[in-house]
């Protein structure tokens, strides 16, 4: 069975996000000044084969923990659905 | 009223994604070899003030079109929710 995982990897809340600050400034310069906070991370989609959703989720979790996310500074969340 | 926007900005399907290819290879090396496709983009969360959801959505759309997404190579999608 083929699954698609939608993964979000974001900087932890305590971590400074200079890129987010720069984008916030840019939005204010564009006149969109009601924006109070901007956080920027990665969105990754994975297409993978697995026998069932449980196996797919376990593989995606391993992929995040071992390669996709820097667990010291980032937190990840994901959803798995049938392709 | 305060809203939070969850924005995904991904490379268009036709665009080559060398970063995605590199991550796919990395996952295969980790033994997660059932992954057939990897695409990597940005996930951005915006916190903003707006009178209602319609106004919030229009501001987020403008922010994506004018600053956050490169409309030649990227496509964006977003969801707005009350903070």
Report pLDDT for A11.
94
Segment among A15-19, A56-60, B73-77 with least mean pLDDT = A15-19
Question: pLDDT digits over B44-60, tens only?
Answer: 999 999 999 999 999 99
Q: Do B30 and A66 touch (CB under 8 A)?
A: yes
User: What's the mean pLDDT when you consider all of chain B?
Assistant: 95
Q: Which domain holds residue A74?
A: 2-82
Question: Do residues A5 and A48 touch, judged by C-beta distance below 8 A?
Answer: yes
pLDDT at A17 > cutoff 90: no
Complex ipTM, two decimals? 0.91
Q: Do A9 and B41 touch (CB under 8 A)?
A: no
Q: Do B35 and A48 touch (CB under 8 A)?
A: yes
CATH of the domain at B12: 3.30.1280.10
Report pLDDT for A31.
92
CA distances from B49 to A19, B44, B55, B61, B64 (A): 21, 16, 9, 14, 17
Which chain B residues are Cβ-neighbours of A50 within 8 angstroms? 34
pLDDT at B33 > cutoff 90: no
Number of domains in chain B: 1
pLDDT at A10 > cutoff 90: yes
């Amino acid at each position: 069975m083929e699954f698609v995982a939608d993964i979000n990897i974001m900087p932890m809340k305590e971590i400074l996000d200079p890129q987010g600050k720069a984008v916030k400034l840019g939005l204010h310069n564009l006149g969109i000044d009601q924006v109070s906070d901007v956080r920027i991370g990665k969105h990754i989609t994975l297409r993978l084969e697995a026998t069932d959703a449980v196996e797919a989720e376990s593989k995606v979790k391993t992929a995040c923990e071992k390669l996709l996310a820097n667990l010291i500074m980032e937190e990840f969340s994901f959803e798995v659905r049938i392709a």
